[in-house]
């Protein structure tokens, strides 16, 4: 008998971690929301997502000894981080990939975010983080925004990111995390667990945004994520908190 997919109160499905079809369910979920993803992020975060990515790149800059030449942006979604990277590192070539084809199509269709002279520096493709179709040591930087929380096997995904990095290359992962101040957590969860799914319902589907809060509950705490980086073979992993720790920039170096 097929496993039942959980339904939100509006009847929209959302993935169940541990399900035999979790990957397929996540892919279907992101396919459904590809067109509204960026706008909903701006609304739901009160525009803070426009600050989180630049701050993450500022943290990356502090670690780099020289500008990267080749960058892989994983889980690129509609391309918000991809195009920011392209502007921030104007001499780098980029590969943007997502395992949801609808997101890749969306990202590729917004090349006008860059001047014409910079658009040819970006290639797009569909790829699974746990089985990346790139040679080992191919990139100076591997980046992701709000991706690693969705990986069914965190260490496996991080291990693939390390594999495709050159020696001394850096991995950047921006992710939603549990807030640091104890007093802020009840407020955060009241909004994240209850209000955001209702906002999603206003956009036509509650299920994917209910999945967001559920995915955070199954995600390791910051120290657990840093340990996962080490288990995957990275050196000097560190975490930089944003917005009282509700978002964290993880950085780690390939040995």
pLDDT digits (tens, 9 = 90+) for 109-146: 888 777 777 788 999 999 999 999 999 999 999 999 99
**Residue 138: burial class (beta carbons within 10 Å; 0-12, 13-18, 19+):** middle
* % helix, strand, coil for the chain, step of 5: 45, 20, 35
Fold of 23-253: Rossmann fold (3.40.50)
pLDDT computed for residue 10 by the predictor: 45
Q: Mean of the per-residue pLDDT values for the chain?
A: 86
pLDDT computed for residue 14 by the predictor: 55
pTM of the shown model:
0.88
Sequence-ordered strand ranges (E) for the chain: 70-74, 93-98, 122-126, 139-145, 165-176, 235-242, 247-253
pLDDT computed for residue 139 by the predictor: 98
Sign of the C-alpha dihedral computed for residues 39, 40, 41 and 43 taken in this order: positive
Q: pLDDT under 50 in the chain at which residues?
A: 1-13
């Amino acid at each position: 008998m097929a496993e039942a997919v959980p339904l939100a109160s509006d009847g929209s499905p959302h993935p169940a971690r541990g399900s035999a079809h979790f990957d397929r369910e996540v892919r279907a979920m992101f396919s459904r929301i590809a067109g509204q993803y960026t706008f909903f992020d701006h609304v739901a975060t009160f525009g803070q997502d426009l600050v989180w990515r630049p701050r993450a790149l500022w943290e990356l800059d502090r670690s780099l000894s020289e500008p990267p030449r080749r960058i892989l942006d994983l889980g690129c979604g509609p391309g918000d981080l991809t195009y920011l990277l392209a502007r921030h590192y104007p001499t780098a070539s980029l590969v943007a990939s997502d395992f949801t084809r609808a997101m890749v199509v969306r990202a590729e269709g917004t090349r006008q975010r860059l001047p014409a002279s910079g658009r040819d520096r970006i290639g797009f493709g569909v790829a699974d983080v746990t089985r990346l179709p790139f040679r080992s040591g191919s990139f100076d930087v591997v980046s992701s925004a709000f991706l690693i929380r969705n990986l069914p096997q965190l260490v496996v995904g991080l291990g693939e990111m390390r594999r495709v990095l050159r020696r001394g290359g850096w991995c950047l992962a921006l992710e939603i995390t549990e807030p640091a101040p104890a007093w802020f957590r009840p407020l955060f969860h009241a909004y994240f667990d209850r209000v955001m799914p209702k906002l999603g319902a206003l956009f036509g589907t509650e299920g994917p945004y209910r999945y967001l809060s559920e995915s955070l509950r199954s995600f390791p705490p910051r120290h657990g994520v840093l340990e996962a980086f080490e288990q995957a073979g990275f050196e000097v992993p560190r975490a930089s908190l944003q917005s009282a720790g509700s978002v964290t920039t993880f950085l780690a170096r390939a040995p």
